[in-house]
Each structure stands twice: as structure tokens, then as C-alpha cells.
Structure 1
Amino acid sequence: MAHAAAMGSLAIQSCPNSERSSSLLLHGKANPVLRLRQAAAGGGLRRTVNRRPSFSTRASAPTTKESVLKDFRERKALKIISGLQNFDKDKVASVVIAAEKGGATHVDIACEEELVKFALGLTSLPICVSSVDPLAFLSAVEAGAQMVEIGNYDSFYEMGIKFSSEQVLKLARDTKRILPSITLSVTVPHMLSLPDQVKLAELLEQEGVDIIQTEGGKYSSPSKPGILGLIEKATPTLAAAYSISRAVKIPVMCSSGLSAVTAPMALTAGAAGVGVGSAVNKLNDVVAMIAEVKTIAESLGLPTSSVSQRALK
């Protein structure tokens, strides 16, 4: 396969103490991207629609890079993330609708052509697709995605795989070569030391990357409950946003482990926007998702409109 050939030369490092890591090294034989796709094909990830929330939607989305970056330049971007492995159209629909109705500025979905086409029928927000396979971006962009994200590494961490600075740089260069005009965001792995995260961000800026995204909250373990715990959980990604935003001129998006409590702190730390995933996509009810997005948007000072009862029917 073309994707496997493209990724085969990428030597992913195994995480310490992982018994499965050796079988996941990319030496042209094993590929974590293909492993995810095989899981999907085997039924681990649903790709069919059994029902769709009947919300009123818009389908005319911005297409220019400036329109995609506008909210970042104004330091008010809010990206809602459905998840790199989330191919369930019902769940993606709920997240996309929540982003649209709750006042977000962008939505991030898994990198799949049909999923992009589906999402375009639900929202006018710029659609970002996430992957670690540069060739996979091609069909998604052709389908209408306006932004691509190298990142959302959580699924790979869970398989015992981490990404080095060199590997992330290679992915960025390959993506820029394949899609030179697309808005490109790259996540800096939180498993790197903070000085190495800053250095990688500087190198990515030199490569022409448009946005740097930070991460870290998912794997921090708060020792306190309540608000103290929320702040503690967000500390790694806030620290990265603070340090990286002072080292680069391009926008920094603070993501991972954020909530309505900590999202405003990200802007204060220097971020141009925030990315929110599990605080929204782990909820089971679309109305609750909309309410959560709205709460986060209001915490950032973004304009939101009340969700009418008619829209929720």
C-alpha cells in the first residue's frame, strides 16, 4: 500500500517497559496507522450511520487559509476534537453539532474522506483532520478539509509508541511537500522534555508550519479533586504553551486536559486558542455536549447564542 510504503521508513521509538512495542516498530513491516485501520475494518470502530441527530445545520465552510487562521490571529480559537480513532458517524455528528451550536471556531475529526464529506453537511466551521500519515491527508483535503493536524498521538501512546523530534519534523516536511498550501498544525509530543518541546517548535516554525499544538493533560494524574485537580491536570500543557509561545511567532494552540476552568489560563499563558477533546466527546448526550462547549466558549469570552428548544428537537 502507498500509505504503508510512505510510513515504512519512519522508525517509531518504543515507550519504556512496553511488552508490545517491538512488534509495533516501523521497519516497513508494522505500521500503527494500518493497525488502527485494521481495527476499524474488524469492527472495533463503527463507520456506519444508524441514526443522525436532526439538528438544523449549515454546509458552506470557509476555504482560504486566512479564514481558517483568523481566530488564531485574534487569539480566540476554540477547536473541539472528536478523536483520531473516532470513525463512528453518530458520535462524530454529535461532536460536530456541539461545536457548531456551542460557539466553537473549529472542529477536528478523524482523517477519512467520507467522514469529512459527512461533517461538511453538518457545520460551517473549518474542519481539521488529524493523522500521522501525510498521504492520508490528500483525500480528506480533496473532500473539503481546510486544515490538517499531525498529532492526537494518544492512541499510539496506548500502544506503547512515542514520536521523536526527528520523526515529527519528517512528518511535517512530508506534509508540506504533499500539501504546500494547506493550513498545517503540528502537535509537539508532551513526552519530550520541555526544552526539547521548545526546540522542536522552533524547527517546525522554520519548516513553515502554521500552528503549534501542545498536549499533556491526559497523562497527568491530579492528586486533588475538584477545581484544584482540573488545574493540576492542565499544568503540563499550560507550561508547554507558556514556553513555546515565547519562542515562536506562529500561533500556539493549548490542548489536552483542558476545561472551562483552565481554558482561560491557556490564553493568559500565551496560547492563541485551545483544543478540547474528552471534556466534550466523552459525554453521551448531544445536548450536554453543546452545553459544555458553550461553557468553555463563554469562559474564553467568545460570542455564543442560546440554543433554542426547536434546534434541540
Structure 2
Amino acid sequence: MNIHHSKVKKSLQSKSAVKIISGINNTNISDVTKIVKAANLSKATYIDIAANPRLVYHTKSLSSLPVCISSINALDIYNCLIAGADIIEIGNYDFFYKNGIYLTLDQILSLVLEVKKFATNIDICVTIPYHISLCDQIHLAKQLEIIGVNLIQTEGIANLSKSKYINSNFDISNLNNTFLPSLLSTYIISKSIKLPIITASGCKNLTSSVASIYGASGIGIGSSLTKFKSTIDMVRYINQSCNSLVISDTLKDKFDKLINISELIK
């Protein structure tokens, strides 16, 4: 496993990495501070923040956890590296999705190669876009592995039909539409590459173990934290997610009966 940051590497190797996402477009110092403080008091592995140098400085002053920044702008990434960012994530496609723009495989690969010219000896994670076919997701992941990317992240989209893929007798209160496509991509891609994979979209504290069972080396927790007002509640939730990753593989058999993985793969 070619991961430069020792703390992150250890967690990924044990499939117990937990990334806390403050919001890829959230530059509100007050909001970010609450989440960073909670992450620092918990068992979280690292923090993912918006690509803003001022925010990087602020986060580093509050926490000893590694700081990841997410962007698709090479200049923003460079400036955040100067500010002290520990991990780069090429992702944050939401802005383009909202405007009907979808990056191609070639555009993503080109951006990665551009970033690698100035980002040496630092871990680079790339989000695999949900909108491309599974075959293309696998192809992109393989190409990213070849050019030296360190981590892969999967994402989901909230328009997957629940009834088609979920056993009708299963209570889906702890699952949502974004988690299932992200889980599927994780499962399929993990069979084709050796890079560690982070499953981020829609992952909750009680379902984080499922991601680990299906090939993820870690999870990303973000939107689930917005409902909590107190730091203590955030810490408790994060730790529940961390503890959930340490679970017996027997859960996989139970989950297989509830989610028709074979149907998802077709």
C-alpha cells in the first residue's frame, strides 16, 4: 500500500479509516470549527475540508489530524498544499453536476497528471464519478492506479430505485439511495485494483461496517453530522462509526440476503 501518511496508512491497512467531511463547499469558520473539534476528540482518522488556504491554516491550528482538501482546481490545490494540507482529493464534482456538466475520464486523468507535477510525496485521492458506467469506473480506477494515485473514493447518486434492489421486508431506515450505488462501485472496483477505497456517499454509523465488508478500506462521514448541535453528540456518532468497522464477516451473509448484489451488478 503506497500511502505516505503513516496514520492514514495504518487505518487503511486495517480497513478502519474514517474521514470526517466538514463540507466540500463549506467555508464557514464556525461550522467547520465544530466539526473539526469533534473529529479531533473522536477516533477519526482524518478531516476533509473545502480547498481554502485560510481554512487549512485554521483547521491545522485546531487539530493534529491529517487534513485533506477536495477540489478540481489545480491552483486551489497548490495553494492549499502551501498552507499545509496533508492529502489531496480530486473530486467535489457537485458544482458541475448541478450545472449539467459531467467530467470525462480524459479530463479527470489530465487533471491528476497536472496535479502530480507539483504534488510530490503527498497522498492523492480521486473520486470516481457515479455517472459513468461500471466498466468505465473500473477502467478509470485502473488508469489512476497506473499513474500513481494513492487512494480511490466512490460516490453515489440519490435516484436509485429502492424497490428494485432491496428486499421489500427490509427496513431501510438506516440506508439511503446514495449509499447503495457507492457501495456497489466499491465492491466492483475493489476486485480490479489494489488501491485502498473510501466509500463516502450516504454512509451512516450503523452501515459503515457494510462498506468494509464489501471492499472499502475506509468510510467518509459528513452530512450525517449536520443534525447534531453539540460536540459530544458528534463525537459519539463518529465513534459509533469507527467501532462499527470492527465487525465479524458474518454480517456479509446477512446483508447479501437483504440487498440483491447480483442484481446490482447486472
Smaller-chain TM-score bracket: 0.7 to 0.9
> For residues 159 and 296 of structure 1, do their structure 2 counterparts lie closer, same or farther at Cα, with a shift above 3 Å needed?
same
SS of the residue aligned with 1:186?
Answer: strand
> For residues 93 and 153 of structure 1, do their structure 2 counterparts lie closer, same or farther at Cα, with a shift above 3 Å needed?
same
Q: Counterparts of 2:99 and 2:228 in 1: how far apart (Å)?
A: 24
Unaligned stretches of 5+ in structure 2? 248-266
Q: Structure 1 residue aligned with 2:91, among 137, 140, 151?
A: 151
Deviation string, structure 1 residues 176-235 (Cα, Å, up to 9, x no partner): 112122110000001111111111100110110000000005454656899414335221
- For normalisation by structure 2, the TM-score amounts to 0.83
Deviation string, structure 1 residues 73-116 (Cα, Å, up to 9, x no partner): 22110001112210001111111112122211111000111111
Q: Counterparts of 2:27 and 2:34 in 1: how far apart (Å)?
A: 12
Report how far residue 299 of structure 1 moved.
Answer: 1.1
Residue 140, structure 1, aligned to residue 80, structure 2 = yes
Find the counterpart in structure 1 of residue 207 from structure 2.
Answer: 262
Root-mean-square deviation (Å):
2.1
Q: How does 1:86-97 map to 2 (within 5 A)?
A: 86-97=26-37
SS of the residue aligned with 1:231?
Answer: coil
Find the counterpart in structure 2 of residue 70 from structure 1.
Answer: 10
Checking the alignment, whether the CA contact within 8 Å between 1:77 and 1:272 is kept in structure 2 is yes
Residue 301, structure 1, aligned to residue 246, structure 2 = yes
Report how far residue 161 of structure 1 moved.
Answer: 2.0
Unaligned stretches of 5+ in structure 1? 1-63, 303-313
Identical residues among aligned pairs (%): 36
Checking the alignment, whether the CA contact within 8 Å between 1:198 and 1:244 is kept in structure 2 is yes
Q: How does 1:1-313 map to 2 (within 5 A)?
A: 65-220=5-160, 222=162, 227-231=171-175, 233=177, 234-301=179-246
Question: Which residue identity does 1:292 align to in structure 2?
Answer: Y
Aligned residue pair count = 239
Q: Counterparts of 2:242 and 2:213 in 1: how far apart (Å)?
A: 15
Select the structure of larger CA radius of gyration. Answer: 1
SS of the residue aligned with 2:33?
Answer: helix
Q: Counterparts of 1:229 and 1:73 in 2: how far apart (Å)?
A: 30
Q: Counterparts of 2:29 and 2:176 in 1: how far apart (Å)?
A: 33
> For residues 256 and 120 of structure 1, do their structure 2 counterparts lie closer, same or farther at Cα, with a shift above 3 Å needed?
same
Q: Counterparts of 1:137 and 1:191 in 2: how far apart (Å)?
A: 24
Question: Which residue identity does 1:202 align to in structure 2?
Answer: K
Checking the alignment, whether the CA contact within 8 Å between 2:46 and 2:67 is kept in structure 1 is yes
Checking the alignment, whether the CA contact within 8 Å between 2:7 and 2:45 is kept in structure 1 is no
SS of the residue aligned with 2:79?
Answer: helix
SS of the residue aligned with 1:260?
Answer: coil
Deviation string, structure 1 residues 111-155 (Cα, Å, up to 9, x no partner): 111111100111111100000012211221121110010012223
Question: Which residue identity does 2:217 align to in structure 1?
Answer: A
Q: Counterparts of 2:149 and 2:33 in 1: how far apart (Å)?
A: 29
